[in-house]
Amino acid sequence: MSAHSTAHDFKANASRAIADTQLTGNLKAVRQNFIDKRAKAVKGLPEFEALRESGKEIKDHTLAHLDLYLEYYAQKVEESGGHVHFAADAEEARKIALDICRKVGAKTVTKGKSMITEEVGLNAYLEANGVTPVETDLGEYIIQLRGETPSHIIAPAVHLNKHQIEGDFRRVHTHLDPARDLNEKVSLLTEARGVLRDRFLVADVGITGANFLVAETGTSIIVTNEGNGDLTQILPKVHIVMTSIEKMVPTLEDASQILRLLARSATGQEMSVYTTLSTGPRRMGDLDGPEEYHVILLDNGRSAMLGGEFQDMLRCIRCAACMNHCPVYHQIGGHAYGWIYPGPMGSVLSPSLIGVDEAGHLPNASTFCGRCEAVCPMKIPLPKMMRHWREREFERNLNPALQRWGLGFWAFFAKRPRLYALANRLAIKAMALIGRKKGSFKGLPGLGAWTKYRDFAVPEGETFQAKWKKARAGR
């Protein structure tokens, strides 16, 4: 199971958020800061539009060949002395991470900012198993102190003001002078720097995410402004990268193209302060850096999105421009979405990853104003995909009981691909034989709602998958 979700309660969550005047006040920062900065950065680079096209092309190509790039990447990581672990779901990813920690007897783990570790609920799991995770990104650190989840994918504590943060620091940092002055924002930053510096130096394992994986060299790339991700990965004996399969790009050149889009779209910088390329463990003769390097590659529903109507979502580089420009996000903030991915990208991605039952309401959180798609550096058609989800949800609700029964039936086979293919082939052949004379069916068992108003076309004796394969092979 992935991290806990309250996305099914979206309507209640959203009404509560709108009524929270402190929250809506704090959220003004999103509108005021991110939008102008991005606009300025984009205006400053005449090639921005061409780069968007280039970024899209790179990701489309990579996704269409993802199996091959993953194999190549894994081989390169091993060649450089690192280890690659494939994790089909959240539970497996957590277990692999814990295993690595246990092998080195880790007590504390420092963490760079990583949405994937949020997705799999890593912190709670490590804690339950006697390993203390310490978030080191300032925003992540603040929300960890509060026991919250991030409300924004690049600014996790954007829903808080400095007085709230001061309250948390006073509550937790009890070893410091209670009379200290924390009125200035910079004194809050300095205090966190001091507290976390000590944690960095004693951590046994460092866990980061990755913004990119480079197949050519077996490299993982992180992008940060604070430098916390770097201290996380160079000081402990072990560096674990927990990331997901769609972060892949073929070459360093490809990563460079998308890096130009990322910082500008996210924070309006031309380049983030630290872009760090990590390849394997420390080399012979190196005087610092980790002795072990592990990459945990998470699937958790992503491979099933390939080849379908939601594949485009896998181009997402988590820049947050879509939520920064979303009038719904501006009103309700990130927590109301109920799971870790908020805003337009979350409304599209969450139902794919945790199911329509849980997150089916999220695609309704849209005014279809189209701003998200207009600013998305990877040209992801977010409104169109939200419409897809709505249509699916609508169809589902037409006949919930039957649909659910049908889905369960389908799921049984889908998990058994050979059986599925076989059953489909048999059923389709049978239908083709029976229906051949009439050209269509007036009624089919299990499809009453469909055949009540229309005829079911007779299959041509071949499954979609078989056709798809043929069409592909012909390219």
Partner 1 sequence: MSESRATMLASIRRSLGVKGDERIRKAMVEDRLERAPKGVIPDRAQLDAAGKLALMLEKLEAAQASVARLASYADVPGAIAQYLRDNNLPASIRRGEDSRLDGLPWAETALEVSKGPSAGHDLSAVSHADLGVAETGTLVLASGADNPTTLNFLPDYHIVVLSAADVAGDLESLWPKLRRKHGKGAMPRTVNLITGPSRSGDIEQTILLGAHGPRSLHVLVVEG
Q: Is 319 in the site for ligand SF4 (CB under 6 A)?
A: yes
Residues in 118-177 at the binding interface with partner 1, rule: CB under 8 A: 136-139, 142, 155-158, 161-162, 165
To 10 degrees, the CA torsion angle through 223, 94, 316, 278? 30
Interaction partner, residue 66 (partner 1, ligand SF4, none; CB < 5-8 Å by kind): partner 1
Please say whether the beta carbons of 336 and 125 come within 8 A.
no
Closest CA to 315 of 215, 247, 251: 247
DSSP class of 459: P
Does position 424 bind partner 1 by CB under 8 A?
no
Q: How far is the CB of 217 from ligand SF4 (least distance, A)?
A: 24
Nearer to ligand SF4, 85 or 260 (CB): 260
Nearer to partner 1, 54 or 399 (CB): 54
Question: Hey, which residues between 183 and 202 contact partner 1 (CB under 8 A)?
Answer: 185-186, 188-190, 193, 196-197, 200-201
In the list partner 1, ligand SF4, none, the entry touching 116 (Cβ below 5 to 8 angstroms by class) is none
Q: Which is nearer to ligand SF4, 145 or 376 (CB)?
A: 376
| Using rule CB under 8 A, residue 72 touches partner 1 | yes
Given phi > 0 = left and psi -120 to 50 = alpha, else beta, which region is 370? left
CA-to-CA dists, residue 324 to 51, 226, 287, 336, 343, angstroms: 21, 21, 42, 15, 8
Q: Is 221 in the site for ligand SF4 (CB under 6 A)?
A: no
108 CB-near residues (< 8 Å, 6+ apart): 131, 132, 133, 134, 199, 202, 203, 204
Cβ proximity to partner 1: between 14 and 245 the closer is: 245
Residue 428 contact among partner 1, ligand SF4, none, beta carbon within 5 to 8 Å by kind = none
Residues numbered 339-378 forming contacts with partner 1, rule: CB under 8 A:
none
Contact, 282 vs 235, CB < 8 A? no
* Type of residue found at 288: D
Q: How far is the CB of 366 from partner 1 (least distance, A)?
A: 24
Residue 314 touches ligand SF4, criterion: CB under 6 A? no
Rounded-to-integer distance, Cα 15 and Cα 110, Å: 36
Contacts of residue 229, defined as CB under 8 A and 6 or more positions apart, other chains included, come to: 112, 113, 136, 137, 208, 222, 274, 276
Region 221-240 residues binding partner 1, contact defined as CB under 8 A: 225-228, 230-231, 234-235
Whole-angstrom Cα distance, residue 423 to residue 417?
Answer: 10
Decide the pairing of beta strands 456-457 and 440-441.
antiparallel
Judged by beta carbon distances under 5 to 8 A according to partner kind, the member of partner 1, ligand SF4, none in contact with residue 219 is partner 1
Choose one: 16-24, 58-66, 363-371, 429-437; the region binding partner 1 (CB under 8 A).
58-66
Q: Are strands 108-111 and 205-208 parallel, antiparallel or unpaired?
A: parallel
Determine if 245 is a binding residue for ligand SF4 (CB under 6 A): no
Nearest distance from residue 37's CB to ligand SF4, in Å? 15
**Read out DSSP for 387-404?**
HHHHHHHHHHHHSHHHHH
Mark the segment that binds partner 1 (CB under 8 A) among 84-92, 101-109, 355-363, 427-435.
Answer: 84-92
- Tell me which residues touch ligand SF4 (CB under 6 A): 265, 316-322, 345, 376-378, 380
